[in-house]
């Protein structure tokens, strides 16, 4: 593992999760879907895959970005009930080896050219390289197949 740049991995924020769990309404004003996990669904509340039988919510989430043409709402899974959340601000161990798109954004909320795909091996090195560009303010790790947000990455 190489990490010359100090960064923080962040799950969905607690306020958003509380709001969706309480209201049942997502970022687009649609009802959250209540599901029973088949197993393997990536949980954005605690940054691990769900086990079979866990009670989940599937809902539209809008990551925090300045108003820009690149703001979007995408589907995410979270536990239906409050959970302990992520236990670390490091790269999720269970998601190593999983290819991801690392979408970099500048201060305007525009996608930055440092955006890239990585194979899941040594993600810290790839993240450090992206964050070495001072114009990058946040990076979103996104699922390659579906494009949905996995977690946000910021400098510490």
Rounded to the nearest integer, the mean pLDDT of the chain is: 94
Q: What is the pTM of this model?
A: 0.92
Q: What gap in Å lies between CA 121 and CA 119, rounded to an integer?
A: 6
Q: Which residues contact 88 (CB under 8 A, 6 or more apart)?
A: 9
Q: Which residues contact 18 (CB under 8 A, 6 or more apart)?
A: 82
Q: What gap in Å lies between CA 147 and CA 141, rounded to an integer?
A: 9
Q: What gap in Å lies between CA 127 and CA 6, rounded to an integer?
A: 10
Q: Are 12 and 52 in contact (CB under 8 A)?
A: no
Residue numbers in the chain where pLDDT is lower than 50: 1-4
Q: What percent of the chain has pLDDT over 70?
A: 97
pLDDT at 20: 98
């Amino acid at each position: 593992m190489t990490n010359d740049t100090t960064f923080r991995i962040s799950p969905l924020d607690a306020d958003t999760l509380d709001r969706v769990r309480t209201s049942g309404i997502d970022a687009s004003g649609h009802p959250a879907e209540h599901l029973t996990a088949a197993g393997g669904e990536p949980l954005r509340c605690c940054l691990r895959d769900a086990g079979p039988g866990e009670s989940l919510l599937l809902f539209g989430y809008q990551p925090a970005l300045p108003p820009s043409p690149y703001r979007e709402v995408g589907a995410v899974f979270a536990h239906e009930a409050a959970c302990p959340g992520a236990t670390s601000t490091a790269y999720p161990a269970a998601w190593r080896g999983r290819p991801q798109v690392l979408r970099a954004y500048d201060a305007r909320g525009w996608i930055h050219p440092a955006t890239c795909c990585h194979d899941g091996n040594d993600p810290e090195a790839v993240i450090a390289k992206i964050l070495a560009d001072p114009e990058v303010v946040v990076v979103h790790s996104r699922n390659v197949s579906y494009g949905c947000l996995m977690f946000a990455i910021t400098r510490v």
